[in-house]
Amino acid sequence: MPDLKQPPPASPSKAEVSSSRLVLELEGVLELSDDDLLRLSSKNDHLQFEQDAYGNLVIMAPAGGTTSNRNIRLTTKVSNWNDDASLGVVFGPDGGFKLPNGATRAPDVSWIPSERWEALSDEEREKFPPLCPDFACELRSASDSLAPLRDKMDEYMNNGCRLGWLIDPFEEQAFVYEPDAELRHVDSFESTLSGGDVLPGFKLALDALR
């Protein structure tokens, strides 16, 4: 199994462009507050925005139809489990979190236990909750390369995430991240992922995302 636990990349020295995202270097040029980022998002609701730990702005295009459909199916499965378990709160790809390292990230699917949500103030809930979700999942789209997604998964784990899934429907593989455990490569969509102690009782048959 290849070693995918690569260190986070250095701060970019210029704008980085891929087919699905644009990274604008703002470090030392412009500092965006959480309120600024929220206003920017509301004025440009056809785009998704994140900020990395250096304050650089990450702009992402909308997902295509197939990826959007996969995402809603995955989110629905986690939400249905949570409705039955009544253990926490589920978020979709438009839900951003202010991580301890200063980055603002929006996993494709995420979950936090009820006690963490209830400990937040109303203002913290309305903006970007200042925490890393206990569960974070990234779903690769047709225009995504794996490297930035691996970096995001490492970032989640380094900021306190307890269970992370990186799901790649195009190569029909997945990667399971857990604290103090080796990265687990699941090389077939005939497999089932388990929520373990974080999402107790939750199972995801990967072939549902074909």
Structure token digits, residue 143: 């225009």
pLDDT band at 18 (very low <50, low <70, confident <90, very high): low
The DSSP result for 116-163, as a single string, is: HHHTS-HHHHHS--SS--SEEEEE--TT--HHHHHHHHHHHHHTT-SE
Q: What is the pLDDT of residue 21?
A: 85
Q: What is the pLDDT of residues 30-43, one digit of tens each?
A: 999 999 999 999 99
Q: Which residues contact 54 (CB under 8 A, 6 or more apart)?
A: 11, 12, 25, 27
CATH number, span 64-209: 3.90.1570.10
Q: What is the pLDDT of residue 19?
A: 53
Q: Name the residue type at position 196.
A: G
pLDDT at 16 over 90: no
Q: What is the pLDDT of residues 178-195, one digit of tens each?
A: 999 999 999 999 999 999
Task: Tell me the pLDDT of the chain averaged across its residues.
Answer: 92
Its pTM stands at: 0.90
Taking the C-alpha atoms of residue 135 and residue 197, their distance in angstroms, rounded to an integer, is 11
Residue corresponding to tokens 């250095």: 10
Taking the C-alpha atoms of residue 73 and residue 83, their distance in angstroms, rounded to an integer, is 15
pLDDT band at 155 (very low <50, low <70, confident <90, very high): very high
Q: Which residues pair with 91 in a beta bridge?
A: 110
